[in-house]
Amino acid sequence: MLKFLFIFFMLLISPLFEMQNRKNNLDLVVDSDMTFEQALRGTKAPKEILDSLVLIDVYYYSFDQKMHKGQLVVHKDLKDEILEIFEMVKILKYPIAKVIPIVKYNWSDEKSMLDNNTSSFNYRTISGTNRLSLHARGRAIDINPFLNPVVYEDGKIIPRGAKYDIKRIGTLHPRHPLVLEFKHLGWRWGGDFQSYKDYHHFDKEK
């Protein structure tokens, strides 16, 4: 009898859950919804690298305080750690502007940074050198690059027009819980680089 009442009760209130689900779906802002092929279109990466990559969906609050869905192309070995980081991003409500595979910016790191876009895989060299970046293997991620720019020793800042101000929400600094969590997982933070500071950059070589 009790069991019957319980089922009856659940049937009675189930439309409420349904309504809540529908509301959550309506509130979700989709920043990126590509297929794996679309996310890699036009890249010059060799097949062995392409075979090691995966496309993952990530969820985060953006600066509009709404839940957004974005996508990242990462090395398959780092998928779980990235998803763990994004769990923390949600719990902290650390705002991320957008997360869109860089193909949307015609593989231009500069355009992606200017748009404050968070991204990982890009088959490219390290800016100002001819060495392949860890981004070329999906083993690096750049977070809110306009708020967390590259600052050179001579004071030059990339992307142009950006400022590094740790008082602004979404800005990373040495004691930020996300920075600490990345390091705990064995990642390197560009904010610790000696010659210049790359505040948006995290990577893990192995």
List residues near Zn ion by CB under 5 A: 140, 142, 201
Residue number, nearest CB to Zn ion: 201
Contact (Cβ atoms closer than 8 angstroms) between residue 82 and residue 70: no
CB of 20 to Zn ion, least distance (A): 38
Give the integer Cα–Cα distance in Å for 176 and 199. 12
Burial of 156 (0-12, 13-18, 19+ CB in 10 A): exposed
Give the integer Cα–Cα distance in Å for 167 and 80. 30
CB of 80 to Zn ion, least distance (A): 20
CB of 141 to Zn ion, least distance (A): 7
The residue (of 31 and 142) whose beta carbon lies closer to Zn ion is 142
- Stated as kind and residue range, the H or E segment containing 59 is strand 53-61
Instruction: Give, as one character, the DSSP assignment of residue 148.
Output: S
The residue (of 65 and 130) whose beta carbon lies closer to Zn ion is 130
CB of 144 to Zn ion, least distance (A): 12
The residue (of 201 and 204) whose beta carbon lies closer to Zn ion is 201
Instruction: Give, as one character, the DSSP assignment of residue 135.
Output: G
The residue (of 94 and 187) whose beta carbon lies closer to Zn ion is 187
